[in-house]
Chain A
């Protein structure tokens, strides 16, 4: 018996005009006359914008030296020397720039925070609720002890000398950490059967959501001191923190309410049928599911808050945006505001971009688990 074996020839590649880079370019950029024109306009705009930017930011830029003489000799490029000399100030504010040997304190605080957040993100690490509670309720005190220093007998850094990226992170983190419990209470209260509680919660949420953060910050910086005697020293950072936390709690409440409403009615009814009390039902059945659903929403409000912290520079706090203005206002570096703002924008972008990546990966993960 002879068997005939059919061996098919390998498929021929499609003609070069229909695949590969040429076709890709043709299909995407030159598929019609209109598209061709748009492509050329786009290329021309890129030509106008990109080379000068590259020249300014990289090719002609100065980074050598420790004073502005290099930059003054070459005024065509960016002066990154400014950022290099002031990096500790821009990252950690005035106290730590005066005491650079102390910067291990904020670095250690943020390393702990980084560790906690990594533990929260890695799927195989157990006991997440405890880690989360630790991060929100205990970690702020550890961070305060390290950064302020008085509790640990370290050199005291008064809160009005905090600044830079450190203050931005403090404002954003405390904002979200304080807003989280308040937000949960408000979201639950808004769903409550008791009219007084419900209306109070609605009033609270809508009051804060109806006012822009700027007005709240102005209120905190200008009005609050008028109502308290001078001896009761509420410093500006604390006042801004209170304002931000109250503001943020209203948005967190709304994000969590979305989660509460997304839970099928059956879950509530099943819990009632088991004879669970309101709190048991809420804590064991409802909240775990609701919070899981609302995490992407909460992360989104957090990204917004992170960027909104730059608003505190208008009440002259020295967070990332504010300290940039301060540093560029010095005699040594006057006029280097653009370099400072570009650098600050880059840092904001790094943080917000990684957070939004995380939020969207989370959304994908949660989405599949709810599709069955």
Chain B
């Protein structure tokens, strides 16, 4: 009995100590020699293994970039695949150090779950795909439609909200997976398919005849996705946040994988010099080496290169979308590195 009590007390202490947050994540990461990174593993464009078994995608790239910023070696990443249910526990228990698992930033998650959002590596939003034969040009004309949807997701709730707000009716046709919603849509079980727009574009390319369907312009929800860290270790949060900022700033300043070595040697632009680490104490301020951002950009490219490699093949053009730089009409706006 004594033993059980001691054990219970010990485990309670452990729970408390983990809940208090791990100060010194950077030290832990350095002693482990690897960044532990929680990803989904099966979302095209975000994280999934390629033919060679290497994790690819815009979420996976965040981890490669952080590993490169810390170790100068992008291979020092350990990917841990997580389901939507496990992800926050895995983060707060210290099983992973970063969580870039297409996770939407919401108040509840930020305030109540002991986690912190850094910035966004993709800004998504729910939309509609319709059969062209329907002749619909706007989501406002969808009154009475049969809509294929993945059951049990926030997509379902957003859909209900949108139709109620606009005083329209619809018949939901629920499926378990997004591949099944596509089959249902292709097979004629519904005229409309709703999902996040990044998914819609991917699903559209998999239809029997992609040209028979189009995606409506409306975006009915806000889904800013980005890497998440544990609350209570601000230094670690800063490292992840500023690595992402560095990738975005690099694009703004025209630094990419092809010219970064050249620029490091010869550039006279102080903004570029601060990023590549030939001027200022940026790396030291973060607790990293001077070439942290240089290594990160060298490893995965600037934000535009990441987008082009992983997101454009899904059929999502960037120009003029929210995911473009603020200088080109988008809303990606990274604070200056100085």
Give the interface of A toward B (CB within 8 A): 75, 85-86, 89, 93-98, 158, 160, 218, 221-222, 225-230, 236, 314-318, 322, 325-332, 334-335, 337-338
Q: Are A315 and B86 in contact (CB under 8 A)?
A: yes
Q: Are B48 and A330 in contact (CB under 8 A)?
A: yes
Q: Are A230 and B94 in contact (CB under 8 A)?
A: yes
CA of A44 to CA of B338 in the docked complex: distance in angstroms?
Answer: 75
CA of A317 to CA of B206 in the docked complex: distance in angstroms?
Answer: 26
Q: Knowing A325-B42, A329-B42, A329-B44 touch, does A98 contact B86 (C-beta < 8 A)?
A: no
Contact of B78 among A93, A96, A160, A332 (CB under 8 A): A160
Q: Knowing A89-B49, A225-B90, A327-B49 touch, does A315 contact B11 (C-beta < 8 A)?
A: no
**Which residues of B have CB within 8 Å of A229?**
14, 17-18, 94
CA of A261 to CA of B42 in the docked complex: distance in angstroms?
Answer: 49
Contact of B301 with A by CB under 8 A: no
Q: Are B54 and A98 in contact (CB under 8 A)?
A: yes
**Which residues of B have CB within 8 Å of A158?**
78
Q: Which B residues between 35 and 70 are near A, CB-CB below 8 angstroms?
A: 40-45, 48-57
Contact of A94 among B53, B177, B203 (CB under 8 A): B53
CA of A43 to CA of B324 in the docked complex: distance in angstroms?
Answer: 58
Q: Knowing A89-B49, A89-B53, A222-B85 touch, does A326 contact B42 (C-beta < 8 A)?
A: yes
Closest A residue, CB atoms, query B309: A331
**Which residues of B have CB within 8 Å of A317?**
81
Q: Which of A89, A160, A316, A326 has the most CB of B within 10 A?
A: A316
Q: Are B208 and A75 in contact (CB under 8 A)?
A: yes
Q: Are B89 and A225 in contact (CB under 8 A)?
A: yes
Top 5 closest pairs, chain A to chain B, by CB: A230-B94, A329-B42, A97-B53, A335-B206, A98-B53
Q: Are B51 and A86 in contact (CB under 8 A)?
A: yes
Q: Are B80 and A160 in contact (CB under 8 A)?
A: yes
Known: A226-B18, A314-B83. 14 other contacts (CB 8 A): A89-B51, A97-B51, A225-B89, A225-B90, A229-B14, A229-B18, A230-B95, A317-B81, A326-B48, A328-B42, A329-B42, A331-B50, A335-B206, A337-B177
**Which residues of A have CB within 8 Å of B208?**
75
Contact of B288 with A by CB under 8 A: no
Q: Are B49 and A94 in contact (CB under 8 A)?
A: yes
Contact of B182 with A by CB under 8 A: yes
Q: Knowing A158-B78, A331-B310, A338-B179 touch, does A98 contact B42 (C-beta < 8 A)?
A: no
Q: Are A225 and B93 in contact (CB under 8 A)?
A: yes
Closest A residue, CB atoms, query B11: A227
Q: Knowing A326-B41, A326-B81, A334-B206 touch, does A98 contact B52 (C-beta < 8 A)?
A: yes
- A sample of 28 cross-chain residue pairs with beta-carbon separation below 8 angstroms, ordered by A number, consists of A85-B51, A86-B51, A94-B55, A96-B53, A98-B54, A160-B80, A222-B86, A225-B93, A227-B14, A230-B18, A230-B94, A230-B95, A314-B83, A316-B86, A317-B81, A318-B41, A325-B42, A326-B42, A326-B49, A327-B48, A328-B179, A329-B40, A329-B41, A330-B50, A330-B51, A331-B48, A331-B313, A335-B205
